[in-house]
């Protein structure tokens, strides 16, 4: 049942990305181009998502456990650290340069595989590099992950 719910949610998410234009790198870049030919339409998409999700998160947090699954998948800590900030900056720079992020890239991989393949290759390489860096032994004088 959990797999079916995840599959349906993924289809709905992909369809929403497609219909909203979030899977169009040109539209995303036009949204990010505040000094040029700015296209504000994606702000309405994001606003609609926030308005829809906020009461649903509120309702979910009032439940002891999710409708599907044993427990909520929440982060174990909520502090900002260098890894989180660095990852957010890297994600933002990549999004701004390419006009695409991982969710829409999966949609685009079906629609325009040749144009999306270089992004997907770079994304997979980044994921593999990140995993390798996390497995690398820490220097003795380095702070523990999550410590400033």
pLDDT tens sequence across 22-72: 888 888 888 888 888 889 988 998 899 999 999 999 998 898 888 887 888
What average pLDDT does the segment 117-127 reach? 89
For residue 130, CA distances in Å to 58, 78, 90, 126 come to: 33, 20, 12, 6
* Residue 58 confidence (pLDDT): 92
pLDDT in tens, 68-100: 878 888 777 778 888 889 888 988 888 888 888
Q: What whole-number distance in Å separates Cα of residue 145 and Cα of residue 130?
A: 13
Residue 66 is predicted with a pLDDT of 85
């Amino acid at each position: 049942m959990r797999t079916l719910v995840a599959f349906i949610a993924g289809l709905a998410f992909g369809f929403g990305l497609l219909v909203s234009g979030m899977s169009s790198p040109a539209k995303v870049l036009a949204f990010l181009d505040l000094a040029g030919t700015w296209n504000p339409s994606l702000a309405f998409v994001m606003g609609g998502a926030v308005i829809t999700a906020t009461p649903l998160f509120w309702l979910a947090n009032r439940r002891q456990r999710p409708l599907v699954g044993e427990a909520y998948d929440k982060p174990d800590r909520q502090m900002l650290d260098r890894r989180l900030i660095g990852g957010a900056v890297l994600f933002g720079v990549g999004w701004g340069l390419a006009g695409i992020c991982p969710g829409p890239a999966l949609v685009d991989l079906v629609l325009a595989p040749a144009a999306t393949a270089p992004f997907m290759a770079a994304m997979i390489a980044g994921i593999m590099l990140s995993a390798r860096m996390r497995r690398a032994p820490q220097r003795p004088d380095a702070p523990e992950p999550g410590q400033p």
